[in-house]
């Protein structure tokens, strides 16, 4: 576990349960176990050497199946018994790996598949023709091919789980698996859902709206402190990124608690230990994570061509300016030279499988209207929508973490999960939909 994760757990306690912090050894190895000469010079994370890695050969382009190949790897834990299902986890991004990361929300007796997208993490490869290599439909074909192989290695019945951009990819995968010749998932679980590309609105407007909600709870002293040119010595981008990550990952309560550390004592003076805690949080959550290399290439070719043109090169959508969270001045710079030419919409990728939506009512990364649109559009499937009050972008994996495994068990059994939700103690709003006849 990284030192940052340890520090955050000490500061935030149970808020970071199921945080997704990497637990695998992050050291790298310049060799590969399969002898692929094309990839001999690519340094792969240590997790890619695990005995649970399953590798298969994939074409750079499905349009040229006999053309150039690369090695596609997934991590596979077999279920404890043949009758138990396997969860196939598809992370977000686009460009986020999940191999080597803990998935505590999955029952430990269930099988588990974690995936990295082509070109990233355990699937780094030598230079490819980016325009045809990095596309959601190609990423989906990789996952389907892996499922076909894993069915021969004891996977049995399975559930699909997608988070954030992973819900776009999971929707593509489910659409492909609707082919009767393909293996069929028992259900699809979508969390932090995208239903369509942001074609007519700025995608990060929800962060500004969330700030308007949250700042109303802050004291005049805190709001005054945030109007300083560089509060605590941090610039507006760092504060903006801190707000984005905190509110999306941990939700409004944790974000407000962090800002309230700026409150002075009864004598009107800053509380040193509180300021130190806040600085530790900002150093962890406010650090600018600028994409580079294959991750940047994937993000540009997938996000800018399929999801939105409004992405800043440093991934900071909002900044703190004069005490307000406002739109960053360089929004759109990541996508210069790219066009939104293949805008995603769920209506183009319908499927018939039971689908469970987990939506945070304060999700700023994928606002709730996106999940509701996916639910309303997918009239080809039975579906259940769970809106979690006070949750951000990880309503199942973090906010419902104490009952995550029991919720997944209920999904696998095709049962209602009222009892499991009640055990969580989190307020939720549940909606049901039936497949159209």
pLDDT score at 420? 84
pLDDT level of residue 417 (50, 70, 90 thresholds):
confident
pLDDT score at 416? 77
Residue 296 DSSP one-character state: H
The single residue listed with the structure tokens 């500004």 is 208
Tokens read off for 370: 């996106």
Q: Does pLDDT of 356 surpass 90?
A: yes
Q: Does pLDDT of 173 surpass 70?
A: yes
pLDDT level of residue 109 (50, 70, 90 thresholds):
very high
CA 268 to chain CA centroid, Å, is 41
- CA atoms lying within 13 Å on the CB side of residue 200: 1
Residue 396 DSSP one-character state: I
Out of 71-80, 122-131, 135-144, 161-170, which region has the weakest mean confidence (pLDDT)?
122-131
Q: What is the CA radius of gyration of the chain?
A: 22
Question: Bridge-partner residues for 324, per DSSP?
Answer: 321
**DSSP reduced 3-state for 429:** strand
For residue 10, give Cα distances in angstroms to 3, 95, 281, 435.
11, 29, 11, 46
Q: How crowded is residue 210: how many other Cβ atoms within 10 Å of its Cβ?
A: 24
Chain segment 291-303, per-residue pLDDT in tens: 778 888 999 999 9
Q: Does pLDDT of 304 surpass 50?
A: yes
Across the range 190-206, mean pLDDT stands at 95
Tokens read off for 88: 């196939």
Across the range 95-99, mean pLDDT stands at 93
Chain segment 18-38, per-residue pLDDT in tens: 333 433 333 333 333 333 434
Chain segment 360-384, per-residue pLDDT in tens: 999 999 999 999 999 999 999 999 9
Residues of the chain with pLDDT > 70: what percent? 90
State yes or no: cis peptide before 94, omega within 30 of 0: yes
Q: How crowded is residue 376: how many other Cβ atoms within 10 Å of its Cβ?
A: 14
d(CA 93, CA 295) in angstroms, rounded, equals: 9
Across the range 327-331, mean pLDDT stands at 94
pLDDT score at 293? 83
d(CA 320, CA 229) in angstroms, rounded, equals: 9
Q: Does pLDDT of 171 surpass 80?
A: yes
Q: 408: closest CA among 99, 96, 77, 186?
A: 186
pLDDT score at 42? 64
* Domains, the chain: 3-196+348-433 (3.40.50.1820), 205-335 (no CATH)
Tokens read off for 189: 């679980």
Strands (E), 217-258: none
pLDDT level of residue 202 (50, 70, 90 thresholds):
very high
pLDDT level of residue 208 (50, 70, 90 thresholds):
very high
| The total number of residues written for the chain in this structure | 437
Residue 260 DSSP one-character state: G
């Amino acid at each position: 576990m990284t030192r940052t994760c340890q520090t955050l757990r000490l500061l935030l306690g149970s808020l970071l349960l199921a945080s997704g912090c990497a637990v695998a050894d992050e050291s790298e190895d310049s060799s590969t176990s399969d002898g692929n000469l094309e990839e001999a010079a690519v340094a792969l994370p240590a997790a890619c050497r695990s005995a649970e890695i399953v590798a298969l050969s994939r074409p750079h382009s499905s349009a040229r199946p006999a053309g150039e190949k690369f090695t596609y790897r997934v991590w596979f834990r077999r279920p404890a018994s043949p009758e138990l299902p396997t969860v196939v986890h598809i992370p977000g991004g686009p460009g986020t790996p999940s191999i080597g990361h803990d998935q505590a929300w999955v029952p430990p007796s269930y099988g588990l598949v974690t995936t990295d997208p082509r070109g990233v993490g355990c699937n780094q490869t030598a230079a490819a023709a980016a325009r045809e290599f990095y596309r959601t439909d190609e990423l989906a074909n990789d996952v389907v091919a892996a499922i076909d192989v894993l069915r021969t290695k004891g996977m049995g019945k399975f559930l699909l789980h997608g988070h954030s951009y992973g819900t776009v990819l999971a929707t593509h995968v489910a659409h492909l698996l609707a082919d009767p010749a393909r293996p069929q998932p028992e259900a699809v679980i979508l969390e932090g859902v995208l239903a369509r590309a942001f074609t007519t609105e700025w995608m990060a407007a929800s962060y500004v709206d969330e700030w308007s909600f949250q700042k109303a709870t802050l004291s005049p002293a805190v709001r005054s402190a945030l109007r300083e040119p560089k509060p605590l010595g941090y610039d507006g981008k760092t504060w903006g990124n801190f707000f984005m990550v905190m509110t999306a990952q941990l939700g409004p309560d944790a974000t407000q608690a962090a800002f309230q550390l700026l409150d002075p004592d009864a004598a009107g003076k800053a509380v040193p230990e509180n300021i130190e805690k806040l600085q530790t949080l900002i150093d962890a959550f406010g650090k600018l994570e600028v994409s580079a290399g294959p991750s940047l290439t994937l993000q540009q070719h997938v996000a800018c061509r399929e999801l939105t043109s409004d992405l800043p090169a440093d991934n900071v959508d909002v900044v703190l300016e004069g005490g307000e969270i406002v739109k960053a001045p360089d929004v759109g710079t990541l996508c210069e030279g790219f066009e939104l030419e293949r805008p995603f919409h769920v209506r183009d990728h319908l499927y018939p499988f039971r689908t469970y939506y987990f939506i945070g009512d304060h999700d700023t990364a994928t606002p709730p209207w996106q999940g509701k649109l996916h639910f309303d559009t997918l009239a080809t499937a039975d579906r259940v929508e769970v809106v979690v009050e006070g949750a951000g972008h990880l309503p199942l994996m973090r906010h419902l973490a104490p009952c995550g495994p029991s919720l997944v068990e209920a999904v696998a059994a095709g049962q209602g999960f009222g009892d499991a939700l009640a055990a969580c103690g989190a307020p939720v709003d549940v909606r049901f939909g039936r497949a159209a006849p």
